[in-house]
Amino acid sequence: MKELGRKLYIKISEVISAEIEEITEEDCIEYMVKMVIDRTFDGYMTEIKTIYGQLEKILGVKIHPAPDEWDRLYAVDFYIKINGNYIGLQIKPAGGVSHIPQIFKEHVFQKVSHQKFTEKYGGKVFYVISIKEGGKKRIYNMEVIDEIKHEMERLKGK
């Protein structure tokens, strides 16, 4: 055991120590950007594009990214324009079914913001929840599709 302890000490004090001394502050910053920010952003964008693409195909309409102001004021990520009115969409990725109750809690808190959006732009705001199933992203709350279609028809009749 003593011999193994000595080998470990040499490895830590000489080899690893020398490798650590070569690491610069810039290396650490670059690592954080590449491994944390880039991967998180790439994952988020993949999630959004996947669900966004599914929605466009199912609904047969162009879905547009919302202006930053809409995100801040109304919690709207995307919109559909119908006869000068706007339907708001908020896409919420859920890490699994266990996250869904938390998303519904957020939805309750955002009802006031969504109501203000409806008053200003004419259309309702819908939550689209996505989950990963069998390695693929899919819309969890499929009933929202019919709700969005109904709202589209209502706005077409205005």
Instruction: Give the whole-angstrom CA distance, residue 46 versus residue 35.
Output: 16
Residue type for 106, please? E
Instruction: Give residue-wise pLDDT tens across range 72-110.
Output: 899 898 999 999 999 999 887 776 544 445 545 565 667
**Domain segments of the chain as ranges:** 2-156
Domain boundaries 2-156, CATH class: alpha beta
Instruction: Give residue-wise pLDDT tens across range 105-138.
Output: 565 667 888 899 999 999 999 988 888 778 778 8
Sign of the CA dihedral 63, 68, 72, 73?
negative
Inter-residue contact 90 to 75 (CB < 8 Å): yes
Contacts 24+ apart (CB under 8 A), 29-34: none
Q: pTM for the full model?
A: 0.65
95 in helix, strand or coil? coil
Inter-residue contact 119 to 40 (CB < 8 Å): no
Residue 98 is predicted with a pLDDT of 46
Token pair of 73, please? 């004021």
